[in-house]
Amino acid sequence: MPRHPASAARTATPWAAVALLSGAALAYEVLLTRLFALIQWHHFAYMVISLALLGYGISGTLLELAGGWLRRHFGAAFAAGAAGFGLTAVGGFLAAQRLPFNPLELAWDPRQALLLPAIYLLLALPFLCAATAVGLALWHCRGAVHRLYAADLLGAGAGAMGVVALLGWLEPARALVAVGALGLLSAALVPGLGRARPALPLLALGLLLTPAAWITLLPSPYKDLSQALAIVGAEPLLHAHGPLGVIDVVANRRVPLRSAAGLSLAAPDRPAEQLALFLDGDALGAVNRLQGAPASAAWLDWVPTALPYHLLAAAGTGAPRVLVLGAGGGTEVLQGLQQGAATVDAVELNPQLVELMENPLAAFNGGLYQRPGVRVHVGEARGFVTRSRARWDLVQLALLDAFSVGSAGLHALSESYLYTVEAFAGYLDHLAPGGYLALTRWLRLPPRDSLKLLATAAAALERAGVADPGTRLALIRGWNTATLVVKNGPLEPADIAALKAFCRSRGFDPAWYPGMAAGEANRAHRLPQPYLHQGAVALLGPQRAAFMDRYPFLLRPASDDRPYFFHFFRWRALPHWLEQRANAGAAQLEWGYLVLVATLAQALLAGIALVILPLTLRRRRDPPPPGLRWRVLVYFGALGLGFLLLEIAFIQKLVLFLAHPLYALTVVLAGFLVFAGLGSAAAGRIGGGRRVMSRAMAVLVAVAVGELALLGWLGGWLAGLPEGLRILAALGLVAPLGIAMGVPFPQGLAQLQSLAPGLVPWAWAINGCASVVSAALATVLAMAWGFTAVVILALGCYLAALAAWPRLAR
């Protein structure tokens, strides 16, 4: 006779298997972002992975179609799903990277669009396998829904933290194999396997011992590193990996590298020998050979970034104190020493890069980072400035995140808290009297980066109470870069005279300074129109709003609530750029935002198809109580949307005082998952009921609204705490939210088990599809209205679920 379901749940509940499999699946999801950043570009990784996660929705369809057979053979079916995840996680990615897909050709080559579904399918298979196994366990073990869901979330939280540690130890390709092996080990933990159990650890061991040649990553030939290595004489010199990326150093003595952004065509000197730096295959900068004193690097006085040093000298500020944000290969640090700086504080996010500069490359760069006066700080730039009490004569943002001008248009999805109004205000607060903030961007036509910098600086100055920001700003351009300087005080006639002399002697063009005549622009490097000067006049005058409204690119300053500085796309300009494709006009388009919108559209269409199919099948047999289908749709769809919307928004909100994007991702993501798991386990002990649901929702809304209101002030205060205390504070903020978020889903699923167990797979599919949609939706909403709006929408989703709960519970 068949055993009673509750008895089966007590004796054969696969707690450990579910936890390990969920951890492996979450680790695989995070790892895919790293892998695709290496072989393609992380902007398209966002698109591919979002669609691949629809495997969670497809699992509901599979459970609907074959649920009876799978439940009768639960142990074997769960093990097959877990083992399938392990094998397809490795095999699917290795097969996907061999497809001749180039995302940069999507606008021109329709064959590229045909390859996308194949990539989606290959990467969806692991998620389909894992989600089918976990969903089957939740459906099969009726009396243990809360505890199984808790194991699912706790395992996922551990996976989020574990994959970061794994990337600090293993190369990304080898980490992929390790994650696949975890899937095989989770299959071995399920009860009732019998003789097949010993084979699974052996298979996992075989996977771990896969030869390196079989799992070699194949970067796109269009990546900067691929292009550099294709040049005659290129020689890979050094390689380092870590959670923040893979660093490569390339030498070439036959075709010497010459990296000197904006170097004057009249420069009497040229850079010495250089080594090329790459992060995840994208150009990051160069390491300069230094033999002797820094003053020997005279070419650094002939680039636009030397302007603030000349202005400081004109004001009588000798031996300035300099802060370089984004030290990288040290070009700006070397420039500071070459210009006679007394001290240079160099802030660099990536510890592997600092280690390379201080050890294997020290002989080449002349021990730059160990020179007297140079102080290297490993950390996130914005967080360093927030916590520091020092003041500098010059704060300089290095040109690192945009070194590869060829990737222009793909950075729209990249959040950057370095270029927000609040960030500029913080930099200005740390300037000494008469000091300068200097920022350099690549020059693109029509201009966008440089004009947006100007608009952001003007907004920051106005926020500080400066009535006429134009009196403190100066903008110059060379043949491929533009440099903006912001003074802590009005620009004096001596400053303007020094700027004119600097531009005249080096062949640079002034674009703005107080009192500048239009005829002074566009002389050395002539453009059809003096675009930068015209834009500066408009942005610093009374017609700013009208100019920004009619400009073909979005110039609205970024804020901490909308930290998308690189988002320039405007829908009104799309027809024009598409018409210009034959004339390479499409190369000017901001494709990153279109990728995001396409991702959202595809996720919506695929999600609807995956939800409608099980619903149609359910109508044909064993119809549930009238109206229950739509209550299930609202309840589980709202929970899927709300959970991820709130999670993403708070990751972004807390990144500022955690002051490290890696901490924000791992600590906040893992915190939400772990505390949600604890909330699920606690709700299982307390029992179901409307009172528990109502209290959980009330706590969630009250805490989220309170933290949202206080986070601006609280974040600034917490930023001054030591690192460990900031992490604990972040977990303290996440804890009540996570615990409350862990209650509704298992409560609803347990209720559905008793009302209409046949709808459980459909509920699983709805929740999975809604989660996928919410990932892209959160970014679209944040770019348009900010993360505060995302939080409000998430809370609205939870309130919608609460409204559907009494009807679901009838």
Give the C-alpha distances (Å, rounded to integers) separating 177 from 27, 113, 679: 12, 29, 32
Asked if the domains at 12-219 and 590-810 fall in one CATH topology, the answer is yes
CA 196 to centroid of chain Cα atoms: 41
Q: How many CB atoms lie within 10 A of CB 4?
A: 11
**HSE-up (13 A, CA, CB side) for residue 517:** 4
pLDDT at 402: 43
Q: Is the CATH number 3.50.50.60 carried by domain 284-411+413-565?
A: no
C-alpha span between 244 and 246 (Å, rounded) = 7
Contact 268, 510 (CB under 8 A): no
Selected from 1.20.120, 1.20.1250, 3.90.1010, 3.40.50, the CATH number assigned to the domain covering 12-219 reads: 1.20.1250
pLDDT at 624: 65
CATH of domain 590-810: 1.20.1250
C-alpha span between 536 and 550 (Å, rounded) = 15
Strand, helix or coil at 252? strand
Determine the residue type at 224. D
pLDDT at 11: 41
Contact 618, 630 (CB under 8 A): no
DSSP state of 193: -
Handedness of CA 629, 630, 633, 638 (dihedral sign): negative
Determine the longest span between alpha carbons in the chain, in angstroms. Answer: 96
Q: Where are the domains of the chain?
A: 12-219, 284-411+413-565, 590-810
CA proximity to 162, closest of 2, 309, 291, 23: 23
pLDDT at 324: 97
DSSP H/E element including 511 = strand 509-512
Sequence-distant (6+) residues with CB within 8 A of 482 are 304, 440, 441, 442, 443, 447, 449, 450, 475, 476, 511, 532
Burial of 544 (0-12, 13-18, 19+ CB in 10 A): middle
For the chain (810 residues), the mean pLDDT of every run of 10, in chain order, is 39 80 93 86 64 80 82 89 95 90 68 77 90 90 82 92 90 94 92 78 91 90 89 93 90 88 89 92 90 91 96 91 94 95 94 93 94 93 90 90 42 75 95 96 88 96 94 94 96 95 95 93 89 94 91 92 88 69 55 75 80 66 70 90 91 80 81 90 70 83 89 74 84 92 88 82 86 86 91 93 70
List the beta bridge partners of residue 480: none
Q: Enumerate the H helices of 551-689 as residue ranges.
A: 574-579, 591-620, 628-658, 661-663, 669-686
Give residue for tokens 């730059």: 368
CA proximity to 607, closest of 636, 628, 650, 571: 636
Give the C-alpha distances (Å, rounded to integers) separating 89 from 117, 201, 447, 509: 17, 17, 43, 53
Q: What is the CA radius of gyration of the chain?
A: 28
CA proximity to 380, closest of 737, 758, 735, 726: 726
CA 660 to centroid of chain Cα atoms: 12
DSSP H/E element including 514 = none
Contact 131, 59 (CB under 8 A): yes
Contact 590, 607 (CB under 8 A): no
